[in-house]
Structure 1
Amino acid sequence: MSGVMGEDSLVPRARSRLPVVCTGGLGLLTLLFAWLLDSDKFIERTGMIAFCITVERFIHSMCLFAEEGLFHSKQRYRGRINEIFQTCFRGHVILGMCAIFLMLKLQWSFSEEQWSTMALMCAVYLLLKCLGVLGPCPVEISEICEMKKMNVAHGLAWSFYIGYLKFVLPGTFLSPLHCETILELLLVRRLILLPLNAKVPFKPEEEDTNVVFQENLPELERDTAGVRKRSYKNSVYKIIQNNEAFSCVLEYATPLLTLYQMSHESSAGFGERERKQQVLLFYRTLSQILENSLECRNRYRLVLLNDEHTGDPHYLSREIIQHLKQQDGEIHMDHIQEPPNEVQPVPEEGPIGNINGALRANFPEDPVSSNPTLMFSQPQSLRSEPVETTDHFNQPNARRWD
């Protein structure tokens, strides 16, 4: 459950296929224009240009193959020539070379002037490629990295989820000391803070005095990576505003510390602008991962903190309370008028029935009231096997199957 105020203006969306569509459309229009200018030699010139481009790509791939085969065969490919070949040669280049070979076999001939023009085109292409003029622009590199999940933020988000959140989120509940009702005990209010500047304080109260530490929750332990009973501990904080107090499990996303420290290491090649982009990409990736996780869904809230709040000593507490109220509003269910002849729910048995019974004991239903009593079930994993807990409607005309 990720709630961000003004998320659309901060978090970048995935890039669309608009450049591909525009390029294809302009290419077709250019071909039509060239055909209108000289329709007699259109096919001949088109074939010659396609021939040159294919040969240029093949020569460049041969250069890549020489580098990988001579110096990286054992270290990167374990001596497998077929893997080197697949890495250096794209499928369309091989098909193009096969088409050229077939054309030469069928005695497709060019004049000396055409051969000279094609040789000149190949030479210009190879020189421009060598100088980096024809290389991908930063936008293309960014798109490739996002599409292939090759960014620093992708790795950090997956590491944060698999190594920590996947284990901690399903097992964290508020302590009974912080809950006044059973409903509050069942609803986990856990906030994960992500500052845009990636600057994570050691203690939240250093950023805002309205955030007060209460106590640590019981530790969760598991054996991992050779460490026996590695412990995971979470803290409960009280946020105070206008004589109101709100309690929640609060923590910063620790991988942002890595991004912050990388931006201060010259060898990392990671500036402030790149750091902010990676933080936003980290937020987007982590949101997608957690939303698709059955164990973690609805057990968290990501809070993206804007770093343009200098001079406001209580910015953090206001943001936290705003998100807590928004979360309560999403969970809150308004009372509705009970329709006539409404079928009363059948009492449930087992642990769920015990909780419902406790709720009815603490909040007895007024027999005259028309407002229905809400029944809450104990949180369970969404991957558990479905259990039938209700009978068929007890209506006089309902058809029963034997």
Structure 2
Amino acid sequence: MATVMREDDLVPRKRSRLPVVCAFVLGVIALGFSFLLDCDRFTERVGLIAFCIMLEKSLFSMCLFAEEWIFHLKQRYRGQIMRTVEACFNRHLLILMFFIPVLLMRGDVSLSSEQLSTISLTCAVYMFSKSLLDLGPAPVEISEICEVRKMNVAHGLAWSFYTGYLRFVLPDLGGKVRTSTMMNLSSHRLHILLPLNAAAPNKPEDEDDHVVFHENLPELKLNRAGVRQRSYKNSVYKITGQNNETYYCVLEYATPLQTLYQMSQDRNAGFGERERKDQVLLFYRTLSQILENDTECRNHFRLVLINDEHTGESHYLSREIIQHLNQQQGEINMNPVQENLAHSLPEEFPDFHGAAAEDQMSSVPTLMFSVPGPLRSEPVETTDDYGQ
């Protein structure tokens, strides 16, 4: 599991549809108020205003099309005009723009010179505002678009970290631990350290002298991207607590964070400290979702999110790792089928564990339903307690 202490305080949640709901409710209120003020020409005015909005949007899309068609048709769209049109125009907007005038004409609504002047003036004001005042999307909207369409730097780095490294190393981790001479590990998971400031040192000892290298696990060698027998290996570290208790676990820093840190140090990247922290949190959330959805990796990792507010603390790293190790001792890992069924069963079905099991052995006959097993075999998962 990837649950981290203080996760709710650090990791941002996915954005909801609350702005859309609020906008819809406010629109209904505004429509009702307008209808009460002038109900005779309500339909005509709604159609006229809607047509103005869609016309001004379409006119600005034509300006975008001019740029793309004249300068970028070959390089960006391979000379295909339809691809250029689809990139510049919203098809739903075009359909509505031609559909509304038809309704107005069928309703015998004739546009006066004053109404035509209003349409023209509205379009002119919108064009000037768009070109001079930059009426673009708000930073929140841009951030939401990037997150929904997976366009952030963190999304690419998380998927690269998974596809190029973790999906090979994590399923093989149990076998390497079995063949290792170090069998008294406190946890058999790979602990991936993610500092919020993205500063990933080459040696954890440089951050905390209570975290000391112990040994390397056996190497995993694969042919990757033209490199024969590329080597992948993990390191076991000895962690010493405040009371001189010792722990052993496999840990390493997330190497993509070095990319984020170096980008924040380069002016050409346009990547400041604030953006770097946001991307680290998004990297954590994305990587956690990817690994949790992979049944072969789910129970073989632990993401350790490290807050960078540790000025003056010399043993903050060992303290965080020990907290995660102690937290894992009380966890029970379930396979995907059992976990999904446990969440899907209603509250009327009793719990068949612990004290509830005694109630099931009473003299009153009850119906007990067994959990159906899959017809096809599921991937076998190992847990931290397999050695027991």
Q: Deviations over 1:216-260 (max 9, x none)?
A: 111111111111111012111010122211111110000000000
> Could you tell me whether the CA contact under 8 Å between 2:189 and 2:299 is conserved in 1?
no
Letter in 2 for 1:227: V
Taking the TM superposition and a 5 Å limit, the aligned residue runs for 1:1-400 are: 1-100=1-100, 102-103=102-103, 106=106, 108-173=109-174, 174=177, 175-180=179-184, 188-241=188-241, 242-331=243-332, 382-383=378-379
> Could you tell me whether the CA contact under 8 Å between 1:195 and 1:307 is conserved in 2?
yes
Q: Deviations over 1:255-279 (max 9, x none)?
A: 0000001011111111100000000
In structure 1, how many angstroms separate the alpha carbons of the residues matched to 2:197 and 2:145?
25
State the secondary structure of the residue aligned to 2:300: coil
> Could you tell me whether the CA contact under 8 Å between 1:193 and 1:253 is conserved in 2?
yes
In structure 2, how many angstroms separate the alpha carbons of the residues matched to 1:73 and 1:105?
37
The corresponding residue for 2:340 is: none
State the secondary structure of the residue aligned to 1:212: strand
State the secondary structure of the residue aligned to 2:331: helix
CA spacing shift, 1:97–1:327, aligned 2, 3 Å = same
Q: Could you tell me how far 1:104 is from its partner in structure 2?
A: 7.4
In structure 1, how many angstroms separate the alpha carbons of the residues matched to 2:293 and 2:112?
61
Percentage of matched positions with identical amino acids: 64
In structure 2, how many angstroms separate the alpha carbons of the residues matched to 1:2 and 1:104?
57
Letter in 2 for 1:59: L
In structure 2, how many angstroms separate the alpha carbons of the residues matched to 1:225 and 1:270?
30
Q: TM-score, normalised by structure 1?
A: 0.80
Q: Could you tell me how far 1:42 is from its partner in structure 2?
A: 1.6
In structure 1, how many angstroms separate the alpha carbons of the residues matched to 2:139 and 2:380?
46
> Could you tell me whether the CA contact under 8 Å between 2:47 and 2:104 is conserved in 1?
no
Letter in 1 for 2:229: K
Q: Could you tell me how far 1:92 is from its partner in structure 2?
A: 2.0
In structure 2, how many angstroms separate the alpha carbons of the residues matched to 1:117 and 1:20?
29
> Could you tell me whether the CA contact under 8 Å between 1:236 and 1:250 is conserved in 2?
yes
State the secondary structure of the residue aligned to 1:169: helix
Count of aligned positions: 341
In structure 2, how many angstroms separate the alpha carbons of the residues matched to 1:20 and 1:322?
41
Q: Could you tell me how far 1:189 is from its partner in structure 2?
A: 2.9
> Could you tell me whether the CA contact under 8 Å between 1:189 and 1:324 is conserved in 2?
no
In structure 2, how many angstroms separate the alpha carbons of the residues matched to 1:88 and 1:224?
40
> Could you tell me whether the CA contact under 8 Å between 1:295 and 1:382 is conserved in 2?
no
Q: Could you tell me how far 1:212 is from its partner in structure 2?
A: 1.0
Letter in 1 for 2:152: N
Q: Deviations over 1:34-79 (max 9, x none)?
A: 1111112222221211111111111111111111111111111111
The corresponding residue for 2:341 is: none
In structure 2, how many angstroms separate the alpha carbons of the residues matched to 1:336 and 1:42?
66
CA spacing shift, 1:220–1:40, aligned 2, 3 Å = same
Return 111-120 or 43-52, whichever deviates more.
43-52
Structural RMSD (CA)? 2.5
In structure 2, how many angstroms separate the alpha carbons of the residues matched to 1:123 and 1:262?
42
Q: Could you tell me how far 1:331 is from its partner in structure 2?
A: 4.4
Letter in 2 for 1:230: R
Letter in 2 for 1:125: Y
> Could you tell me whether the CA contact under 8 Å between 1:294 and 1:382 is conserved in 2?
no
In structure 1, how many angstroms separate the alpha carbons of the residues matched to 2:10 and 2:35?
46
Q: TM-score, normalised by structure 2?
A: 0.83
> Could you tell me whether the CA contact under 8 Å between 1:235 and 1:250 is conserved in 2?
yes
> Could you tell me whether the CA contact under 8 Å between 1:222 and 1:229 is conserved in 2?
yes
Q: Could you tell me how far 1:195 is from its partner in structure 2?
A: 0.1
> Could you tell me whether the CA contact under 8 Å between 1:2 and 1:302 is conserved in 2?
yes
In structure 1, how many angstroms separate the alpha carbons of the residues matched to 2:164 and 2:41?
63
CA spacing shift, 1:124–1:43, aligned 2, 3 Å = same
CA spacing shift, 1:384–1:3, aligned 2, 3 Å = closer
Q: Could you tell me how far 1:155 is from its partner in structure 2?
A: 0.4
Q: Could you tell me how far 1:116 is from its partner in structure 2?
A: 0.8
Letter in 2 for 1:273: R
Letter in 1 for 2:212: V
Q: Could you tell me how far 1:91 is from its partner in structure 2?
A: 2.0
State the secondary structure of the residue aligned to 1:194: strand
In structure 2, how many angstroms separate the alpha carbons of the residues matched to 1:192 and 1:53?
51
